[in-house]
């Protein structure tokens, strides 16, 4: 069983890992289709506000891709509220910020999860000036270099409706996935966020409606019967 899927309490509550895995597979397929015409390697995940599920979505999506034997790295670029290290149970002593500010090497900071088959770069030490740091040419350079080594780079970010950091990251990511937490955000806020993404010429690959409480019967469409 996928440890990320298993470790999330909400998945236990949903009591249906298979449906969840299918949902991520379907998102994965859609991303792969987007890749037919464009070479999409760096994918930013953002949302309008906090708590809509960005970090959980990115973790599950990265794992779904790594099961295809793709070379994957997750980067925690949410320098306001980093959580990727918590989801994967890692230390956050060394990470992205240490590469950007202290000239640490990637190899010193990246964690290789042999079980899940993916690499993780946590945020690292939290700086007082996150936006400035993300503006640094070094972040773009790092991601460009990673593209030579990885099939997909998944970048976690703070909410674009609240702070500008995600806009900076979106401007140099190949694609953006926009998470909408069902019942967590209103249309106005979603529109503001979408406009911010368009303003930086973000390539919005699609929207994931998260935390949607569906009727079990709606989803059991293809379930085998006895």
Ligand X SMILES: Nc1ncnc2c1ncn2[C@@H]1O[C@H](COP(=O)(O)OP(=O)(O)OP(=O)(O)O)[C@@H](O)[C@H]1O
Q: Which does 157 bind (CB under 5 to 8 A by kind): Mg ion, ligand X, none?
A: none
- The distance of closest approach from Cβ of residue 156 to Mg ion in the complex, given in angstroms and rounded to an integer, is 6
Q: Do the strands 118-121 and 111-113 form a parallel or antiparallel pair, or are they unpaired?
A: antiparallel
Distance from C-alpha of 21 to C-alpha of 5, rounded to nearest angstrom: 8
- The window from 53-61, 139-147, 170-178, 212-220 that contacts Mg ion (CB under 5 A) reads 53-61
Q: What's the min distance (Å) between Cβ of 161 and ligand X?
A: 10
| Measured distance CA(182)–CA(52) in Å, rounded | 8
List residues binding ligand X (CB under 6 A). Answer: 8, 10, 47, 50-56, 78, 81, 83, 159, 210-211
* Residue 11: CA count within 13 A, CB half-sphere: 19
Strand order in the sheet with 175-181: 111-113, 118-121, 72-76, 152-156, 42-47, 175-181, 204-210
Q: Indicate the residue among 66 and 210 with the shorter CB distance to Mg ion.
A: 210
- Decide: is 48 part of the binding site for Mg ion (CB under 5 A): no
Interaction between residue 54 and Mg ion (CB under 5 A): yes
Nearer to ligand X, 28 or 54 (CB): 54
Q: Which of the choices ligand X, Mg ion, none does residue 63 contact, using the CB cut-off of 5 to 8 A by kind? A: none
State the Cα–Cα distance between residues 69 and 116, nearest whole angstrom: 10
């Amino acid at each position: 069983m996928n440890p990320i899927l298993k470790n999330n309490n909400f998945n236990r509550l949903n009591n249906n890992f298979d449906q969840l895995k299918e949902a991520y597979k379907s998102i994965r397929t859609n991303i792969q289709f987007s890749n037919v015409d464009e070479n999409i390697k760096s994918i930013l995940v953002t949302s309008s506000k906090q708590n809509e599920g960005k970090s959980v979505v990115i973790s599950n999506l990265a794992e779904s891709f790594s099961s295809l034997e793709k070379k994957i790295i997750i980067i925690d670029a949410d320098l306001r509220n980093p959580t990727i290290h918590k989801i994967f149970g890692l230390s956050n002593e060394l990470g992205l910020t240490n590469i950007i500010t202290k000239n640490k090497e990637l190899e010193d900071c990246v964690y290789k999860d042999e079980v899940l088959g993916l690499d993780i770069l946590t945020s690292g030490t939290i700086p007082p000036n996150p936006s400035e740091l993300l503006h640094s040419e070094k972040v773009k350079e790092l991601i460009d270099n990673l593209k030579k080594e990885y099939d997909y780079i998944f970048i976690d970010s703070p909410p674009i409706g609240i702070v500008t950091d995600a806009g900076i990251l979106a401007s140099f990511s190949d694609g953006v996935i926009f998470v909408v937490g069902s019942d967590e955000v209103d249309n106005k806020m979603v529109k503001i966020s979408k406009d911010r993404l368009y303003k930086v010429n973000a390539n919005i690959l699609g929207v994931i409606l998260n935390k949607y409480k569906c009727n079990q019967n709606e989803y059991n469409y293809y379930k085998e019967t006895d």
